[in-house]
Amino acid sequence: MKNTILFSSLLLSASLFAQKKDITMEEAVLGLGTNLRIENLNQIQWIPNQNAYTQNVKTAYGEALIKKEVPSLKTDTIFRSSQFENKRIPSLNWINEKQAYFTSKTGYKTITITGEQKDWLSLPENAENVELDATNNQVGYVVDNNLFFVDKAGKTHQITKDGKYEIVNGKSVHQNEFGIHKGIYISPKGNLVAFYRMDQTVVTDYPIIDWSVQPAINKNIKYPFAGTKNHTVTLGVYNPTSQKTIFLETQPEVDHYLTSVTWSPDEKFIYIGILSRNQKHLELNQYDATSGKLIKTLFKEDNDKYVEPQHELYFVSGKSNEFIWWSQRDGFMHLYRFDANGKLINQITKGDWIVTDIVGENAKKKELLIMTTKDSAKDRHLYAVNWENGKLRKITTESGTHNVAVSSNGEFALDNWSSDDIPRKIEVLDTKGKFKQNLLTAKNPLINYNTAKVENVTLKADDGTDLYGKLIYPTNFDQSKKYPVIVYLYNGPHAQLITNRFPATGNLWYDHLAEKGYVVFTMDGRGSANRGLKFEQAIHANAATTEMNDQMKGVEYLKSLPFVDAERMGIHGWSYGGFMTTSFMLRKPDVFKVGVAGGPVLDWTQYEIMYTERYMESPQDNPEGYKQTNLINRVKDLKGKLLMIHGAQDNVVVWQHSVNFIREAVKNGVQMDYFIYPGHEHNVRGKDRVHLMQKITDYFDLYLKPETK
C-alpha cells in the first residue's frame, strides 16, 4: 500500500512537472515585455511637497488615478479616464502639488488637480533634445542643430543660427561619455539657458550606408577615432531678457572635455569639470554666468591612469554656499562636501563600497538618501547618511536590488525591488525604519515554465580578489552526464552582469539554453563595474589581458566539475564582450570549440577617442598596447568555429571592424562564419532580436550538440 501511494505520488509529481512549458525563443527574448511581464503598479509616483503618492488603478468605470496619503493610506480619486481624449489616463508628470503635465500630439498639456486641462507648450515636429523647465513653463529644444527656447511668456527665441552638420548646438557632447546625456541646462529659476556648442569641423567624416533604398545612400557621421583630432566644445549662456549670448572662458583652443556642468542655485555661477585630453587631470572651475569669466579653480584631481567624472554637483538643500562632489579619489565612488570656495568640509561616505545614486534628502535631519553597494556588490540598498558627521542608517532590509523614489521632504520612500527569488515587491516605507506597507507582491510569471537552476559562484583572481559568477543548470540536471557549456561574458567597464535581481539567471535566454541541455556560466571579472577603482583599472592600457586571466579562473572551475564536457565549450559576448570572445578564440585558441562575437571591437584605433583613450591611452602613447589588442592581426591563429555578427548601421563599433577582419581572414585562407543585420545599429533590437538569438543558438547547437530532452 505504501509503495502504491509512493508510486502514485511519483506519477503525480511527474505529471505536474510535465505540464510545465519550456521557454520559447520568442519568450526568452521578448517575454518579459509581453506575456511574461512582471506585475507592476502603474503611475506610482510622489506628489511634490506632499506625503502622498498617485497610482493608476482599474475600476468598474475604467481607469482612475488615485491619491494615497502616507502613512494613513487614505485614498481619494483624482482623475478618471473619461476626462481624457483617448479615454485613457496618459503618463503624468507632476509640476507641483496642484498640476501635472503630459505629452500631446503637438507638445504638452497641463491638468490641474481639479481636472482643468490646457494646451501648454507646442513643439515643431522635428524638435530634438527637448529640455523641459516645467516649474517655469519653459522649454528648450533643437531643430537642425540650432537651439530654440520658449520662455514663460510663450515667446520663442532662436538662440543660435550657425547650426549645421559640423556645428551642433544644444546636444550632448563627447560621445555621451562622462555622464553627459543632454546639451541644454536651464538655470534653476529659469532666467538663463546654458548650452553646449560643438564644432566638429576637424573630426573625421565616417560613412554609414542606408541599404533600405535603391540605390543605397550614404549618411556621414562625425566619428573621432582614438589618436586623431577631437571636436571643440564650448558652453554658451543665453539671457532671454537681453537676448544676448556669452560663452564661458573655457579655453577652447585647449584639447579637453567639459564635464559635470552645474548651475549654482542662485544662478550666479556655472561649475564645469575641465578634464584633460589624456583624462588624467581634472579641474573643477567656477565661472561667472553673466560675464563668462573664470572666477577660480576650486580643486584638482589627478590619477596616473584616469579620472572619470560622471555626475553634476549636488547642492545641499538648494543652498549655493556648499555642494557635494562625487569622487573615486580614495578608490571608491564616494561623496565629498565642499564649500563654494572649494574647501573640503568633510568626506561624507567612506569604505570599500560605492554610492550609486543620490535619490533625495531630508533637510531637517541633514541627511542624504543614497543607494549603495555597502551590503554586497550584487545588491542595492537605500541608506540615509548625515552630511555633517557621515553617520549611516540602513533603510531597506531585504536582500535584493532596490529602486527607490523618495518624497519631497525625504520622510517616505516608494521601494520597487526584486531579488533572484522575488519577481517584484513594491512597498511604501518611512525613512526612520518604523513604518512599511506592502503595496504589491508580484506573482512569478515563470511559475508554469521550466526554469534553470542557478548557483551563485565566488572564485578568486590571481591577486585574491573575489570574482562573482553564476552557474546555470537544466531543470532535469543529471550529474552523471556530460554537458556542453556556454560562457557568456562582457567583462568591460560600466557593466555588471551578476546582480541579485529577478530573473535569477539574469537573462531568460540562459533558461532557454539550459532546457536545451546546456550549462551556462557568466562572471564579472576585473574591469567590470561597481567594485571600485582598482578593480576597474586593472585592465588599463592592455585590454583583454587581465580580463582573460580572470575568465580563465572560470574556465578552470568549469573543467573541475565532473558534469562539464571540456571538449564542448562555447563563448559569446557583444560589443566589449564581442572583443573578449574574439580575443579568446585567437589568443587562447585551444580553450573554446566555438565562439559567437557580436559587434566586436577588433582594432582599438578604430574606436572613439573618449572611451578608448581612457582605458587604452592614445595610440601614440601606448603603441604596444594597441598592437597586442589588435585582433585583425591575429586572424591566422583561429582554430575553432567563429561566427561574427554586426549591425550594418553600427555607429558605435563601426562595421569596418569586422569587414577588415573578414578581409584578413580571406587573405590568410581562414574559414569563419559571418552575418550582418541591415537596418540595425550597435545591437539588434525589437522583433529582429528573436532572429539574432536563434541564429546564435543554432550555431552553438551545430557544433556543441547538446542532448535534447
Helix ranges restricted to H, 523-643: 533-537, 545-560, 576-587, 609-616, 623-629
d(CA 307, CA 222): 25
Report the helix count and the strand count for the chain, using DSSP H and E: 10, 45
650 is catalytic: yes
What is d(CA 231, CA 252) in angstroms, rounded to the nearest whole number? 10
Q: Which three cell numbers stand for residue 333?
A: 565612488
Catalytic residue status for 646: no
Distance CA 84, CA 82 (A): 5
Contact 445, 37 (CB under 8 A): yes
Distance of CA 451 to the CA centre of its chain: 26
| Size of the chain in residues | 709
Q: Is 649 helix (H, G, I), strand (E, B) or coil?
A: coil
CB neighbourhood size of 32 (10 A) = 17
Is position 402 annotated as part of the catalytic site? no
Hey, which bits of 47-113 come out as E strands? 52-59, 62-69, 75-80, 93-94, 99-103, 107-112
Task: Choose, from 407, 418, 575, 658, the residue flagged as catalytic.
Answer: 575
Helix (H) or strand (E) holding 599: none
Of 157, 494, 682, 691, the active-site residue reads: 682
Q: DSSP string spanning 194-206?
A: EEEEEE-TTSPEE
φ and ψ at residue 11, rounded to 5 degrees: -65, -40
Options 231, 583, 650, 657, the catalytic residue: 650
Which three cell numbers mark 407?
518624497
Residue closest to 576 by CA, chosen among 514, 529, 520 = 529
Axis-axis angle for helices 545-560, 576-587 (nearest 10): 70
Could you list the beta-strand ranges (E) of 81-155.
93-94, 99-103, 107-112, 117-122, 128-133, 138-143, 146-150
Indicate which residues carry an active-site annotation: 575, 650, 682
